[in-house]
Each structure stands twice: as C-alpha cells, then as structure tokens.
C-alpha cells in the first residue's frame, strides 16, 4: 500500500487503525519533512493537507527505510549535534543523525567558503555531487608549512598529506613529523 491508496481510504478508518495511522505519519513526514506536533489534534487539517499534496501530482516516497538516509555520504562521527545553514534569510537545522541527501547538499552549498570547507571536513565520505571538489583540492600543490604558520594550519597540512599527527600539539613537533615523512 502506498500513499495514493491511503488517501482513498476514509480518514476515519485511517485514524482508528494503528497500521494505517503509522503509514499516514510516515507519508506525512516524507511529504513535508516534519511530524505534526499533536497528530490527533491536527489530524483533519493535516489529512487534508496531505490529500491536496498528493492530488496535485506530488510524489511521496514512503518505501525508503531510515537506514538509507545516509546512502551516498558518511559523517566521521555522529554526535547528535544540531547543524544549520542559512539560505535566503531562513535558517535550516537538523541533527546530524537525521541528515538526508537534500539537507547535506544544501548544508555543503550554502555559507562562506571557509564554512563550507569546515563542513566538508565533518564527512569521511562526501555526497557524490561534492567528490570532484575534494579531488581538485587534493591535486593542488600546497606549500610546506613553516614556523610562521599556526599549529592548526600545520596540522591541517599534515592531515591533508595523510601524516598521522594525532598526539602532537606544538609547531616544532608537528614540523618534525612532516619532515620525517617527506
């Protein structure tokens, strides 16, 4: 049963059947990206909203499981933190354990260049549409850091070159580790 079959059923039957209600909630979330605050309180209004949405030719895909939300990308560490981006004066927020393809694409596209680069560092595998960006960055030649660089810059250089500097914090030790490898 899909959402088209669901809206053909009388709304009273949907409300009284727990399986149909679960399908309704899932369909509503997939269509609008949020669950109603009180499903019982706003059922008739939200039901009509869903029916209009489906009848206007919009598609609601309710067959996607929650495990497939992060299919083409992977975060380095899920910390249950809220991440946000601003677009057209509006702020969009989402917990990192609820990231989906659309949010990640916007999250990695909107912001200053510095913010976007920092955001890309959160991912161990970027979405398909951003993989070319990393290849371009990897192929660019970067100058070897010196004592004039900050420890953070030196560490970023080492990580970009694949050098393990996890226990090192001061500039001198970081530069020695880089010199030993190169």
What SS3 class is residue 3?
A: helix
Return d(Cα 160, Cα 162) in angstroms, integer: 5
Residue with tokens 């659309």: 102
Q: How far is CA 124 from the centre of its chain?
A: 12
> What are the pLDDT digits (tens) for 83-131?
999 988 888 888 887 788 888 888 999 999 999 999 888 888 888 777 6
11, 35: one domain: yes
Q: Is the pTM of this model over 0.75?
A: no
Asked whether residue 145 is domain-assigned, the answer is: no
d(CA 140, CA 117): 15
80 is a domain residue? yes
70, pLDDT greater than 50: no
Considering the domain architecture, whether residues 135 and 156 belong to the same structural domain is answered as: no
Alpha-carbon distance 133 to 18, whole Å?
46
Q: How many CA atoms lie within 13 A of 28 on its CB side?
A: 21
Q: Do 14 and 43 share a domain, yes or no?
A: yes
If you search the block for the tokens 């020695």, which residue do you land on? Answer: 176
- Tally the domains of the chain: 3
Shared-domain flag, residues 32 and 90: no
Percent of residues, the chain, with pLDDT higher than 70: 85
Minimum mean pLDDT among 9-23, 85-99, 156-170: which range? Answer: 156-170
> Average per-residue pLDDT in the chain?
79
**In-domain check, residue 126:** yes
Tell me the pLDDT tens digit for each residue of 28-59. 888 888 888 788 889 999 999 888 888 887 66
Residues 161 and 122 in one domain: no
Query: Is pLDDT at 64 greater than 80 in this prediction?
Result: no
Task: Classify residue 146: in a domain, yes or no.
Answer: no
Tell me the C-alpha distance between 136 and 88, whole Å.
28
Q: How far is it, in rounded angstroms, from Cα 11 to Cα 24?
A: 10
Residues 73-89: what's their mean pLDDT?
86
Tell whether 135 and 72 lie within a shared domain. Answer: yes
Residue 60 forms part of a structural domain: no
Per-residue pLDDT at 66: 38
Percent of the chain clearing pLDDT 90 (strictly above): 8
**Which range marks the domain in which residue 20 is found?**
3-55
In a domain, 83, yes or no: yes
Give residue 138's pLDDT: 43
């Amino acid at each position: 049963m899909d959402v088209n079959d669901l809206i053909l059923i009388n709304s009273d039957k949907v409300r009284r059947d727990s399986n149909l209600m679960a399908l309704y909630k899932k369909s509503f979330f997939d269509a609008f990206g949020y669950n109603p605050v009180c499903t019982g309180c706003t059922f008739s209004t939200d039901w009509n909203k869903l029916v209009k949405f489906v009848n206007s030719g919009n598609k609601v895909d309710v067959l996607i499981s929650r495990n497939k939300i992060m299919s083409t990308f992977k975060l380095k560490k899920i910390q249950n933190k809220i991440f946000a981006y601003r677009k057209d004066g509006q702020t969009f927020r989402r917990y990192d354990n609820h990231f989906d393809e659309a949010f990640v694409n916007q999250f990695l596209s909107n912001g200053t260049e510095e913010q976007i680069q920092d955001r890309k560092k959160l991912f161990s595998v970027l979405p398909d549409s951003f993989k070319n960006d990393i290849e371009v960055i990897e192929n660019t030649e970067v100058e070897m850091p010196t004592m004039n660089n900050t420890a953070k810059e030196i560490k970023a250089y080492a990580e970009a070159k694949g050098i393990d500097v996890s226990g090192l914090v001061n500039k001198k030790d970081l530069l020695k580790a880089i010199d030993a490898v190169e």
